[in-house]
Amino acid sequence: MIQIRIFSIALILSVASIAFSQPAERRTSRKEYIERYKDDAIREMLRTGVPASITLAQGILESGDGNSPLAKYANNHFGIKCHGWQGMTFYKDDDRKNECFRKYNSVYESFIDHSDFLKKRSRYAFLFEYSKTDYKRWARGLRKAGYATNPKYADLLIMIIEENELVKYDTVEKIPVLTAKLKEEVGPKQLPKKKHQIKVHDNSIKYVIAQKNDSYYKIATEFDMGLWQIYKYNDLAKGDIIKRGDVIYLQPKRSKAIAAWHTVKIGETIRDISQKYGVKIKSIYSKNNLPIGTELKAGQKLSLRKRVR
């Protein structure tokens, strides 16, 4: 009996010794996180316009450099909750007990969904009016729009960006090479073939030409945009019908044109002129001291660059 007890104690001590001798799981450092995911952030910036520095800083802050349980077990690096999500889910305590979070097959899917989350929700729309190199306005805008409840959220993002010089990734213009491994992770649904060819207006605005049997919804979906963005950028009203050959802007129009003046033609509307030159309607009215909604007359001369005195 004594021998059995001695053997049992020895066995317990042996198992405990093995358990305690196992090295603790290694944590990802901030430097490693940036090196590992900077290309994903750049790729998403070039796809959607969300600054790479902001994406990286949010990923670092929300996931604890990729070490949080949500990041490790759900590949969710941005703390995005379910909000009608139809995919896989992960539950954990947050502001409330046992809250639902989105779960992804890969980290890159999390980066894609983060970009789309910002791009397709109207409360974040104003952010895309900012330059992608203006990380401070983006950080403060995210806090203002309610991305996080922490009152110091913007300051924390700015600190992370500046301490790690993340702003250098905001000026990259070439899409990083997509590795075979990443292609497999993303899957064919994330790399769709584009139906429309993106063109660039003389006023430096991206646009496409509407094709046969096109719709505003199809174009918005193809370019990962909200339908509201297509309507806003093109000054569309509910019920407007798309026509083959129409110019459809994918970015906001500018406040001034390359051309200095335009003479109104018979039947021409303010929107026609706005679409032709890539200038916001309100800017044309303002530059010519005209009340919003003023009807134009044939032969009328409009300034497109400077305010008429």
Instruction: Look at residue 13 and tell me whether its pLDDT is greater than 60.
Output: no
Yes or no: is domain 30-189 CATH 1.10.530.10? yes
Which has the higher per-residue pLDDT, 221 or 20?
A: 221
Q: Identify whether the C-beta of residue 250 lies closer than 8 Å to the C-beta of residue 206.
A: yes
Q: Alpha carbon of 296 to those of 105, 235, 270, 305: distances in Å? A: 55, 17, 7, 18
Residue whose pair of structure tokens reads 């407007």 in the numeric block: 240
Instruction: Look at residue 220 and tell me whether its pLDDT is greater than 90.
Output: no
Q: Identify whether the C-beta of residue 257 lies closer than 8 Å to the C-beta of residue 277.
A: yes
Same fold flag, 199-249 and 261-303: yes
How sure is the predictor about 178, in pLDDT bands with cuts at 50, 70 and 90? Answer: low
Residues in the chain: 309
Which has the higher per-residue pLDDT, 33 or 28?
A: 33
Q: Where are the domains of the chain?
A: 30-189, 199-249, 261-303
Please give the average per-residue pLDDT across 285-292, as a whole number.
94
Residue whose pair of structure tokens reads 């989350």 in the numeric block: 117
pLDDT digits (tens, 9 = 90+) for 73-94: 999 999 999 887 778 888 888 7
Is the pTM higher than 0.75? The answer reads no
CATH no., domain 199-249: 3.10.350.10
Q: Which two tokens stand for residue 200?
A: 């660039």
Instruction: Look at residue 1 and tell me whether its pLDDT is greater than 70.
Output: no
Instruction: Look at residue 21 and tell me whether its pLDDT is greater than 50.
Output: no
Yes or no: is domain 261-303 CATH 1.10.3720.10? no
